[in-house]
Amino acid sequence: MTMIVTHQTGGRTMPISMTVCQSHHAMTETELNDAILPGSGLNVPFIAGTMSAFVAHERAGAALYRVAAEQSQNPALVARYEEFGRETAEHIDIYENLIRELGGDPQYVSPAARMTEQLGSKLLEGPVLLAGSVDVVSFETALLEAVVIAEHKCRDNWQLLGRLAEVLPEGAARRAVVDAVATVRSQEDEHVAWASNMWFELALTNARHPVASKTMGAVEGVLSKVKEALT
């Protein structure tokens, strides 16, 4: 399993416009068509690019959970972030195995995956850069909101993968995709439900305990009540 693809891990990409790489790290459409589902008549570069973007999102999610678990001051949230982070790491492994099953290379980072990496980094950018400039409650909420957004996208990716399986030719690769989606979907549904419900509860709990003062002491008092409500 690869958490971050680089040229040291054997990463490859498709040179496009301003994307430049060494020749032995370049991936061409011809190579993709020859390796993945040859003779299927499908748009192989698109399928390979989409799978690369899916695993890129999971890798970004693993980083998000790691940061959230390290920075959160709420033990209940930390426990969940760590649990879902472990499951996200398993999902990365599943995606990488599926890509191999299709004949692809998990070290291939498609143009779509590069865009996904940038979107993922932006989810973390706000909480990380502003951690010292906001109160604790706002910071915890921002982390949780990032998780909500990331998990909805994760679930959508697995739903789309299930639909893509319908166009794959019959065989081991298609069965592997169908089985993987069946295994992971329930976990993704749980992630989305927990993150959304917790976000609602955090907001409602804060709304019920107004802060009369903007001092950190008052904010910490609210946070204590929030922790009690969530544990």
Report pLDDT digits (tens) over 148-164.
999 999 999 999 999 99
Structure letter (DSSP) for residue 169: P
pLDDT tens figures, 20-56: 667 777 788 899 899 999 989 999 999 999 999 999 9
Give the residue among 231, 76, 225 at the shortest CA–CA distance from 137.
Answer: 225
Rounded to two decimals, the pTM is: 0.82
209: helix, coil or strand? coil
Structure letter (DSSP) for residue 9: G
Structure tokens at 180: 């993987």
**Sorting pLDDT into bands at 50, 70 and 90, what band is 144?**
very high
**Sorting pLDDT into bands at 50, 70 and 90, what band is 210?**
low
CA distance 176 to 222: 48
Residue 29 lies in a domain: yes
Total domains in the fold of the chain: 1
Q: What CATH code is carried by the domain that includes residue 69? A: 1.20.1260.10
Give the residue among 65, 128, 71, 122 at the shortest CA–CA distance from 92.
Answer: 65
Residue 1 lies in a domain: no
What's the confidence (pLDDT) of residue 16? 62
* Segments forming the whole domain that contains residue 129: 7-230
- Contact predicate 10/21, CB 8 Å: no
